[in-house]
Amino acid sequence: MLGGVRSARLPEVPVTAPVPPARHRLLALPGGRVHVVEQGEGPLVLLLHGFPESWHAWRHQLPVLAAAGYRAVAVDARGYGRSSRPGAPEAYRAVALVGELVALVRALGEERAVLAGHDWGATLAGQAGLLRPEVFSAIALLGVPYTPPGGPRPSEVFAAMGGEEEFYVPFLQRPGVAEAEMEQDVRGWLAGFYTTLSGRSGVVPPGPFFVPRGHAMRERFVDGPLPSWLSEEELDVYAGEFERTGFGGALARYRVMDRDWEDLAAWEGEPLRQPSLFLAGREDASLAWLSEAVDAFPRTLPGLRGTHLLDDCGHWVQQERPDEVGALLVEWLAGLDR
């Protein structure tokens, strides 16, 4: 059960003077090149995307946050877009990515930042807040709830989840297997994945998260038109990036989950104590197997200042419901200022 949640209302977004256009920047950090898109001036808010996306997932929120008086910076994660794509899986460990986020804050001339992350970006935001609370002062999680480190080894948990079918994480963890499926038709695979995990797709949980052994994920995708939140031109943006980069860097995070479990063992069971926020689509199929993490928020997120499930919304929450997400983030950030 998803206890203690409420449907989101739409707060008003403060209106300020027009802001300059967003600008792209490439920053040379100790771990490699990081591509960011920046808009606005004020307290720093880093926006972290998930799989399989890019900075473009935050295109709607950048101007909203900038207009509200914040310096919004959407990041291409390591392995994605124009950021560096190391070959070694160890380069994608959580501790390495947290270190890169700290270096990014410093490179942007700041000492502290608020993090807002979606999907894998939410997982990384929680890990960064846990490891470096003096740098990351507040954490907004979209789509994926915070789960403290610890418990059984992830590979053992995932192997036990499938039964006669295979849970999608082990499928994505096998080098070359997922790439072979995705890269034979990048645009078609992305279109199917985005559509299937969108609200009103008609998918019954757990959706494509369980794969018949020896079959492809795309066999469980919805065969239909693009969702209303995704135009053909926007799909072209995502497809163009993955046509150029491939999926190896994006999939690396799945392939170091056991290593992260080992690296973060010293923080086993630790709550995330900073002010926090959780936003998700009520129709997000992943909530079917993450509901216990949401129910545990009173213990795991003692600084939680709001949990919002958006009706008629699936996994791609900040793209499916850009106005609500922008307004809720601004309202939460204003509360931090107060």
Catalytic residues: 119, 315
Please tell me what DSSP assigns to residue 167. E
End-to-end Cα spacing for the chain = 33
- Please name the amino acid found at residue 327: A
- The neighbour count for residue 73, using CB atoms within 10 Å, is 26
Q: Distances in Å between the alpha carbon of 112 and those of 105, 106, 152, 167, 276?
A: 7, 8, 33, 38, 15
Pairing of strands 165-167, 210-212: antiparallel
Q: Distances in Å between the alpha carbon of 284 and those of 47, 288, 306?
A: 20, 8, 18
Coil, strand or helix: which one is 39? strand
Pairing of strands 32-39, 23-29: antiparallel
Q: Distances in Å between the alpha carbon of 289 and those of 1, 128, 285?
A: 10, 24, 8
CB 16 within 8 A of CB 40: no
Count Cβ atoms within 10 A of the Cβ of residue 90 and give its class: 0-12 exposed, 13-18 middle, 19 or more buried.
exposed
